Structure 1
């Protein structure tokens, strides 16, 4: 055995062998600023690849299979406890990293990851409605647009097919509480959705392009998407439903079977820098949980009505919860019927 071969064997035996200079990120589509990635690559001489997914369920299913090859993933707070409880994540202790001092106080010790043992803030926002106000002149701050569609909008409404967000909105519209297991409320929700579906033209994630082009006249969506649409089509406005809307957050974590652990930790620390966090926000168009990033944010985000929740709407918002297995099963049953 040569000296070089012996050295490689020793590295492998001690668990120190790893793919040098690489980082593989698994993230939501249209969510990772290539300029920020380039800065990270240049600063640490690391080659980064980014692979997209379209839902929490897709990401979770992929990683559960094992051997994904990814290092970083960015789940929502509703799903993060599942990742932790199933042992899919490495405890990297971001709360103890150098840049953790920049985490805004309200995001430093979240219930979904106390003490930030696993995750760093990526983005946060709200889930509401976008409406073309040149077509519909009524109140846009109501789920009525989706579930009891006004005549002007029938056949022109898109619905983003995110199960929890859509059913939670329907629960709120039916007068129920988030994550309810009340069979009476859920029957109303089921009937509401089935009756509403014929008034929708599509159930697609791609609302930004089609709303911007005028193909859709209304859609449920996330607030950053709402901002993108309004900038392309000024007659579109974002509504905060008075029946109840949700706040959410997405967070960057490291997988238990990551091959590039040290690079993943570097990346977690890197995105907690205020200027870097602002760079991510400038691209994905959502707020972030990093204090001091405001001064680096694009001017068109600082007072944007999609990003800054109006005072009169704040009482109607609640943080999205991780529902019980019983509630999830009931939601899934409704969702399956809706897909028929």
Structure 2
């Protein structure tokens, strides 16, 4: 973890009235690994004379546990939509009122009145995407648009599958595959879900947050993954395709929030406003290859971003996707018990 210093920054009132403010000091960002465009950070540093440090996390659970422990100097955190309400309910986030910032006018209406932060009082979009499957078509030429790829894998893929260790994503895909609904508390369905995951796991080679190299080097031939991650794999190796499970797949959004314990609050607010600028939002997408939720950003994107099947959902699969919300605590408790069994 990098150290930090106390920031001296312009007030939010100045930011709101002028749009561009001069600032000094530092900004400490706690974000997913391989998810932050260095060009975006350089631009922010040069615009506001703020030194940015970035610390990576590998899962929502890791980020939340770290914040609960305290004793850190993080200003910004980037939780997924299914976790934002937990952060708010536990008093970990500062109500920064992005809806009153100058660049809020650029936010796509679709992403304003979201259930996890109605009206956007705490968060601004970072990126959004879907969770599906990745398949090496040179290894398996069948239909990639099914969760059977990792739950009932064809012989060609057995022993070559990686499953991302994200409980919410994997549980959602499996529940839908077994005929259930999101956040179901149906014990019969959940028993089937557990049994299916226990049955499938020996056919996987790993449960890991993978790099592009693991696929291009043929360590893995298939698995569960996020749409932008698969986009990046495909750019490096066109043998790979992204599949939208016909049984159902989750749509999610990662969001930039400011920690209540942030030592550099005004710089953090500057950053929230900064990434709602279309040109800056396009920089975010250009690096990690996801949509961003900011209107007008398409004008600054490359052509491959505008046509990528990992971003532009095929018409036949549009209605199969569902924007996932946080499950009730009692459901999460049941999911966690199943997940603990799978991780053994």
Q: TM-score, normalised by structure 1?
A: 0.93
The match for 1:339 is 343
The answer (yes or no) to whether the contact 1:282–1:297 under 8 Å persists in 2 is yes
Determine whether 1:35 maps to 2:35. Answer: no
SS in 2 for 1:26: strand
Determine whether 1:164 maps to 2:168. Answer: yes
Tell me, in whole angstroms, the C-alpha distance in 1 between the residues paired with 2:147 and 2:319: 16
Tell me, in whole angstroms, the C-alpha distance in 2 between the residues paired with 1:87 and 1:158: 35
Root mean square deviation, CA, Å: 1.2
Q: 2:83 aligns with which of 63, 79, 92?
A: 79
Determine whether 1:142 maps to 2:161. Answer: no
The answer (yes or no) to whether the contact 1:155–1:201 under 8 Å persists in 2 is yes
The answer (yes or no) to whether the contact 2:24–2:48 under 8 Å persists in 1 is no
How far is the alpha carbon of 1:265 from its aligned partner?
A: 0.5
In the TM superposition, what whole-angstrom CA distance separates every residue of 1:195-216 from its partner, at most 9, and x where no partner exists?
A: 0011101111015321122221
Tell me, in whole angstroms, the C-alpha distance in 2 between the residues paired with 1:298 and 1:203: 33
The answer (yes or no) to whether the contact 1:226–1:237 under 8 Å persists in 2 is yes
The match for 1:181 is 185
Tell me, in whole angstroms, the C-alpha distance in 2 between the residues paired with 1:196 and 1:207: 23
Tell me, in whole angstroms, the C-alpha distance in 2 between the residues paired with 1:308 and 1:213: 27
The answer (yes or no) to whether the contact 2:116–2:325 under 8 Å persists in 1 is no
For structure 1, the residue ranges without an aligned partner over 5 or more in a row are: 1-10, 12-18
The match for 2:62 is 58
In the TM superposition, what whole-angstrom CA distance separates every residue of 1:73-97 from its partner, at most 9, and x where no partner exists?
A: 0001100011111111111100110
How far is the alpha carbon of 1:110 from its aligned partner?
A: 1.2
* 1:179-258 mapped onto 2 (5 Å cutoff): 179-258=183-262
Tell me, in whole angstroms, the C-alpha distance in 2 between the residues paired with 1:323 and 1:288: 24
Greater C-alpha radius of gyration: 1
The answer (yes or no) to whether the contact 2:24–2:49 under 8 Å persists in 1 is no
The answer (yes or no) to whether the contact 1:121–1:249 under 8 Å persists in 2 is yes
For these two proteins, the number of residue pairs brought into alignment is 323
Q: How has the CA–CA distance of structure 1 residues 207 and 160 changed in structure 2, closer, same or farther, with 3 Å as cutoff?
A: farther
SS in 2 for 1:210: helix
How far is the alpha carbon of 1:32 from its aligned partner?
A: 0.6
Tell me, in whole angstroms, the C-alpha distance in 2 between the residues paired with 1:279 and 1:313: 28
SS in 2 for 1:78: helix
Q: Which runs of 4+ in 1 moved over 4 A?
A: none
Tell me, in whole angstroms, the C-alpha distance in 2 between the residues paired with 1:66 and 1:160: 27
How far is the alpha carbon of 1:167 from its aligned partner?
A: 1.1
How far is the alpha carbon of 1:320 from its aligned partner?
A: 1.2
How far is the alpha carbon of 1:20 from its aligned partner?
A: 4.8
Tell me, in whole angstroms, the C-alpha distance in 2 between the residues paired with 1:47 and 1:138: 49
The match for 1:273 is 277
